[in-house]
Amino acid sequence: MRTLAGLPSIIDRYLIREIGLTLLATVLVLLAMVLSHRLAGYLSKAANGLLARDSIFLLIGLQATHFTVILIPLAFLLSVMLSLGRLYRDHEMTALAACGYGPLSIYRAVFLLAVPVAAVTAALSLSLVPLTMELQFEALARARKEAEVSMFTPGAFREVLQGRHVVYIGALGEHELRNIFVQTREPDGDLSITTGESGHQEIDGDGIRHIVLDHGHRYRGTPGRGDYEMLRFERATVRVDTAPPRQEWKHRETLPTRQLLGSAEPDHVAEFQMRLNSPIQVLVIALWAPLVARAKPREGRYGRIVAAVLIYAINFNLIGVGESWLSHGRVGPALGLWWVHGLFVLLGVGLLLRHYARGRGLRRLRRPAISRADAV
Decide if pLDDT at 263 tops 60: yes
pLDDT, mean of residues 283-303: 81
User: How confident is the model over 65-88, as pLDDT tens digits?
Assistant: 999 999 999 999 999 999 888 887
- Most confident among 101-115, 198-212, 307-321 (mean pLDDT): 307-321
Contacts 24+ apart (CB under 8 A), 210-214: 210/237, 210/238, 210/239, 210/240, 210/241, 211/167, 211/177, 211/180, 211/182, 211/237, 211/238, 211/240, 212/236, 212/237, 213/180, 213/182, 213/237, 213/238
As a whole-number percent, the residues of the chain with pLDDT over 90 amount to 32
Spatial strand order in the sheet of 177-185: 157-160, 165-172, 177-185, 191-203, 209-221, 229-239
- The answer to whether 32 and 84 are in contact (CB under 8 A) is no
Give the closest residue to 275 by CA, choosing from 200, 326, 314, 234: 326
- Most confident among 101-110, 114-123, 218-227 (mean pLDDT): 114-123
Q: Alpha carbon 272 to chain centroid distance? A: 17
- For the chain, where are the alpha helices, taking DSSP H only? 10-47, 56-89, 92-98, 103-123, 129-150, 250-254, 257-261, 266-292, 303-327, 338-375
- The answer to whether 12 and 112 are in contact (CB under 8 A) is yes
For residue 212, the surrounding DSSP H or E stretch is strand 209-221
DSSP 151: S
- Kindly report the pTM of this predicted structure: 0.72
- The answer to whether 239 and 205 are in contact (CB under 8 A) is no
Decide if pLDDT at 156 tops 50: yes
CA 212/CA 235 separation, integer angstroms: 7
